[in-house]
Structure 1
């Protein structure tokens, strides 16, 4: 537990080997070399790496570290680490030596055979490499075993294929920077040397009592409830959102903040979310690469701190049916290294030609690659959330707001935007309250990809997902649009006329992706179909977009993925889906067969005994209630048993399919409906069976007893 009073300035970043600590500990020449590589790329000499490694090791040992690890992000979607101690063989006098070389810092060699590779590696091909990512600072993880020096790394196979989330992200960031610089220089910004994607991911999560969590196999194995009748009260009173934070939750949040601040993670906002037991944490924006690393640490730390408080943190997108699930709003912007946010419209966006071109390029990229952007946010849990009147629909569209929509309309219709709507003032009508400056547009919570002032908010991402894939895709599609625009404008004789015409062309051709209305309405589904926008409803349906000719051309052009790497990821996604649903189906069968159906049999037996006893003791007594309950319960029990057998049957059939795509489709088309069919009667029975007999905690227990 953290101390009562926290000095944030003192503890912030204390467990991070920051540039400041590096500057203090390294010779000036070495530090300058490292800083230049971080800022502009390049290969570090082994001599320099040796100096950095010694300084890093000394700092870590001073903080209690005995081991180091190359911390990487394989295609499991989580992180991986193998701990090696600093201890070397003792000297002749028996003194223990602690060493860490530049070679050990730069490269590691974990076994690559047991991580997902999607066919890139055969099982017997075990060699893989981790490579130090010096652009993301090393840090210390503290736990009961002590402190571990964690070195962020990329992970690749012996043949050089990316086996992780970080490598493609870094490639996409370089592509985006190169192409965005071309746009910046067209508008006279010659001082910029790099453009960075900045990301601020909002993280939603649930907290439940750990004791109750451990009584539910579905939460343990699947991360979500596979059975559960609605609680008497859910979120319909709207009283949890931004409500007073309970003391137990507040204690967790305080401890969590301290842990994150020590890791240099700028956790800023915390509040109750819409659903009972649901909460949110949001950080300040950071470089996209570091933001991805930080978000992985946020999720890991949430789980660790929750356990310390007797809680369980649920990151699944839909832990409970009937109440809102959890997402991760990925706020994305692009900034030059000389301080220009290329998505800042300024006071008069209709006159900001650079902003209008950037906006037009992003509109074009999102329209052309809507399927890829949708796929980047697809996971098993998100299938339960997207389009469920709590999250964006599965149809990609862009919200610009009234001000920009008006500017775009003028440009399309007349080729000029002579005016733009202003925000004005908001008058409260109370003399003691200040009048407020009002934004020029409202927000739209139903939009998957919304402009929110000086950034875009990609609201589709699932709460348990790594944000690496969405940002890799977003960087790639924008880089392509910038590249195509720059190719045209760099050759133009009359730049002003050329950029004017190009903005109008892009907006006219791709305006179908712009939608400012209600994304939850059935009318939008019909309208989106009329516009020709893809409506990809499931993770399984989204996977083919990765390997289309269009996608391969995009990713290979900017050296982000090879065709083989894309095909491997498609195979991994199919495998992941099949494995996840198989686990859920087996867990359902286990719970139904060993817990729920036996409990119902116990209850019906008691009902029958009660009916017989009352009838025998008093033949004139009214036993209609017992009869009615016995008939209803027995009918639902028979329905449950039939569905139970069907689920086991279709699960076995799907598991036997060898082709990964066919298997994933079978789990989606056959096993998922069978799971729904089994859940329905057992959820009804939960509302009938004596609570003392029902073997698992209810929704009310889980969401309100925290």
Structure 2
């Protein structure tokens, strides 16, 4: 049994290590750089780099890398050794402050959305001193930002850092109005719950569609799925338990606060949840978590699926983004306290979030829009595409009282008794949880439940931070000019609630009635990525991001193009994979089965002329029709792929992929799934859903 306190953070060049290894003056200068957001002096950087190198070498490391997060959504790294040649033909181990601060990877092959031409290869990685360096696979990893030669950001981290700074500045303005002179920094904290599937590695290798696309493109419903609800929170199987134990150890070494693990709703589905931490670090940690999930699963003979909807007919996987605001001394600004009605500061921050979500529904939906997440959102295990906020009965009543200027006298504090004397009575929460809500208040934080399981949390949190910063900025503009602060505050709260309460919905988000009601309220229902993404480059969005220097107009346009291009590429790969499977595997296999049925019928007739062969005839007839249909639909899909070149621009292309190519794939799937249910097992060339989902 590992000693958690000893192994936790053992592979991280964290604050404790720096206190031990850096001279006091260097350590103070480094911490001041982080707190004040100023650039690091090169002399300080040299001392830090040397200490970092010595520490890493003691851990068995010979190489370092600038670890960054390009627009691919995953991480990137180029390894360099510490080796430097000496004049006598020998080598020494060196690492300078210049190497720590700046790297120069070839940036030509990363997505840029038109910011650079392919021949413009130079890019820079810049050390992010707010996120600790760590050792992964015996390589010293230095978290960095990534930008082009012209200075445009090419990564997901830089805009996130900028948004955190914007929110900090505006939150401090508001706190100052409440007489807070001690808070020096406001940070956003995140605890991203990570859902995933585990399947047997040998089964995975036999499913060409999962190998190429990360999800199944076909598969008939198995006799048993999640109907009995027996997998959720069930006993963890020994093989999975062993995987989870090693996973936890590896995450703890990296300083990742992995805490909760359990079986999720669907067979083979699981969840891991960390403790809250600074959003920037939480983003790094979640990327490391996804990498580690795959690496450890492979060691245990399994494959980890992070796709949002790897299997039809059962729950997909999300990444619930628990977001909150805290001061540098640990005060949660979204904590209602025992009397939220009298907590004016809390109400102002709450109203800022409500107003932000209402005014920028489009951007929140954009931040979670991907080809994979389109399959998941709207299903009965994930929120719908309509953005709304769940506040619960108590807070909703508080806001209604503020709006109506009525006394708040409702009593929500109750005790929970289960009717068994031996079980102690405990306090009952003031509101239930609403798992159908896309944006739910859960005590002292908001849970943004629309984020997809394989998506980087940098984008959604960048949007969240920026839109809330905007509302706090507007609130501060009004209140700073007020002659009577209390009167102006009360009016601001009342007006905000009145104008934006349409976004608050505490009911069942899955019902058809809510769709109708949401439309009446004027809420957006952006069901697919092509519908959502153009809102990112609207003039309203450009004005917002430029106001806080989070993204420039050029950077916004480039990101719009990158996301739409990625959407098209993903569906194109899926379509080509499905065509390949149909032509090379399914049609030949079904044809072989038809031949066996025909041979069987002929043999039976040769043995006895009047013997009954209706079973064979019926199957031959049905399978022949289905095989013919699959062949024609495959040809249709091939022809539609050829039509892509007739589209004008990436937006029109994305709509074509959604409305024509994806629709044609769904038609093919319906035929394939019926073929699967009518083809003998020995002729069906792929593991079925039942074999995949219950393989571990």
Shorter-chain TM-score tier: over 0.9
RMSD: 0.9
Check the 8 A contact 1:391/1:459 in 2, yes or no: yes
Which string of whole-angstrom CA distances, capped at 9 and with x for unpartnered residues, describes residues 597-635 of structure 1?
111101111111111111221122111111111111111
Alpha-carbon displacement from aligned partner over 1:463-497 (angstroms, at most 9, x marks no partner): 00000000000000000000000110011111111
Equivalent of residue 667 in structure 1, options 635, 657, 660: 657
Q: Does the CA-based 8 Å contact 1:200-1:284 persist in structure 2?
A: yes
Secondary structure in 2 matching 1:334? strand
SS in 1 for 2:508: coil
Contact 1:110 1:130 in 2 (8 A): yes
Match status 1:636 vs 2:592:
no
Counterpart among 509, 517, 525 of residue 519 in structure 1 = 509
How much has 1:417 moved relative to structure 2? 4.5
2:320 aligned with 1:329, yes or no?
yes
Q: Is the 8 A contact 1:271 1:280 kept in 2?
A: yes
Q: Which residue of 1 aligns with 2:130?
A: 135
Q: Which residue of 1 aligns with 2:580?
A: 590
- Post-superposition Cα deviations, 1:10-54, rounded to whole Å, max 9, x if no partner, equal 100000000110111010000000011112211111111000000
CA distance in 2, matches of 1:547, 1:148: 39
Task: Look up the match of 1:46.
Answer: 42
Q: SS at the partner of 2:48?
A: helix
What is the SS of the residue equivalent to 2:62? strand
Match of 2:196, SS state, is strand
3-state DSSP class of the match of 2:432? coil
- Among candidates 196, 199, 206, match of residue 215 of structure 1: 206
* C-alpha distance in structure 2 between counterparts of 1:629 and 1:480, whole Å: 64
**1:63 to 2:59 alignment:** yes
Correspondence for 2:427: 437
Contact 2:604 2:613 in 1 (8 A): yes
Relative to structure 1, the CA distance from residue 420 to residue 568 in structure 2 (aligned partners, 3 Å threshold; closer, same or farther) is farther
| Alignment partner, residue 387 of structure 2 | 396
* Aligned counterparts, 1:255-654, within 5 A: 255-412=246-403, 414-654=404-644
How does 1:194-273 map onto structure 2 within 5 Å?
194-273=185-264
Instruction: Tell me, in whole angstroms, the C-alpha distance in 1 between the residues paired with 2:637 and 2:281.
Output: 43
Q: Find the residue that maps to 2:181 and give its secondary structure.
A: coil
Give the secondary-structure state (helix, strand or coil) at the position aligned to 1:242.
Answer: coil
1:408 deviates by 1.2
| Preserved contact between residue 230 and residue 699 of structure 1 (Cα < 8 Å) | yes
SS of the residue aligned with 1:97?
A: strand
**Contact 2:191 2:282 (C-alpha < 8 Å) held by counterparts:** yes
Answer yes or no: is 1:114 the counterpart of 2:109: yes
Answer yes or no: is 1:692 the counterpart of 2:691: no
Cα distance between partner residues in 1 of 2:445 and 2:286: 19
Distance in 2, Cα, partners of 1:658 & 1:211: 43
Find the residue that maps to 1:692 and give its secondary structure: helix
User: Cα offset for 1:574?
Assistant: 1.1
Whether the 8 Å contact between 2:225 and 2:314 is mirrored in structure 1 is yes
Distance 1:67 1:450 in 2: 44
**Corresponding residue for residue 105 of structure 1:** 100
Distance 1:633 1:417, change over 3 A: farther
The reply on whether 1:125 has 2:120 as its aligned counterpart is yes
* Alignment check: 8 A CA contact 1:407 1:417 kept: no
CA distance in 2, matches of 1:385, 1:203: 15
Q: Which runs of 5+ in 1 are unaligned?
A: none
Alignment deviations for residues 388-409 of structure 1 (CA, whole Å, 9 cap, x no partner): 1110000000000000011111
Q: Is the 8 A contact 1:108 1:131 kept in 2?
A: yes
Q: Structure 1 residue aligned with 2:18, among 19, 22, 46? A: 22
C-alpha distance after superposition, 1:402-422 (max 9, x if no partner): 00011111222x224523442
What are the Cα deviations for residues 291-346 of structure 1, in whole angstroms up to 9, with x where unaligned? 00000000000000000000000000000000000000000000011221110000
The counterpart of 2:146, out of the listed 138, 155, 163, is: 155
CA distance in 1, matches of 2:406, 2:77: 56
TM-superposed CA distance for 1:108, in Å, is 0.5
Quick check: 1:188 aligned with 2:184?
no
Taking structure 2 as the reference length, what is the TM-score of the superposition? 0.99
- Give me the whole-angstrom Cα distance separating, in 2, the residues matched to 1:209 and 1:665: 36
> How far did 1:95 drift?
3.5
CA distance in 1, matches of 2:30, 2:581: 55
Number of equivalent positions: 696
Gaps of 5+ in 2: none
Q: TM-score when scaled to structure 1?
A: 0.98
Q: 1: distance between equivalents of 2:360 and 2:441?
A: 18
CA distance in 2, matches of 1:586, 1:368: 40
Q: 2:156 aligns with which of 159, 165, 175?
A: 165
CA distance in 1, matches of 2:410, 2:644: 57
Given that 1:350 and 1:419 are in contact with CA atoms closer than 8 Å, whether structure 2 keeps it comes out as no
CA contact (8 A) 1:349 1:420 kept: no
How far the C-alpha of 1:91 sits from its partner, in A, is 4.2
Between the aligned partners of 1:580 and 1:70, the Cα distance in structure 2 is 28
CA deviation digits over 1:414-441, x for unaligned, max 9?
2245234423011111011111210010
**2 CA distance for matches of 1:419 and 1:133?**
49
2:83 aligned residue: 87
Cα distance in 2 for residues equivalent to 1:421 and 1:372: 37
Whether the 8 Å contact between 2:207 and 2:687 is mirrored in structure 1 is yes
Report the Cα distance in structure 2 between the residues aligned to 1:44 and 1:556, rounded to whole angstroms. 26
Once the 2 structures are TM-superposed, how far is the Cα of residue 81 of structure 1 from its aligned partner? 0.3
Query: Contact conserved, 1:423 with 1:441, CA < 8 A, in 2?
Result: no
Question: How far apart, CA to CA, are the structure 1 residues paired with 2:415 and 2:491?
Answer: 35
3-state DSSP of counterpart to 2:124: strand
Q: Bigger shift: 553-562 or 616-625?
A: 616-625
- Equivalent pair of 2:203/2:695 in contact (CA under 8 Å): no
Distance 1:563 1:528 in 2: 31
How far apart, in 2, do the equivalents of 1:73 and 1:420 lie?
49
Given that residues 12 and 255 in structure 2 are in contact (C-alpha distance below 8 angstroms), is that contact kept between their aligned partners in structure 1?
A: yes
Deviation at 1:659, TM superposition (A): 1.9
- 1:655: Cα distance to partner? 5.1
Is the Cα contact below 8 Å between 1:69 and 1:82 reproduced in 2? yes
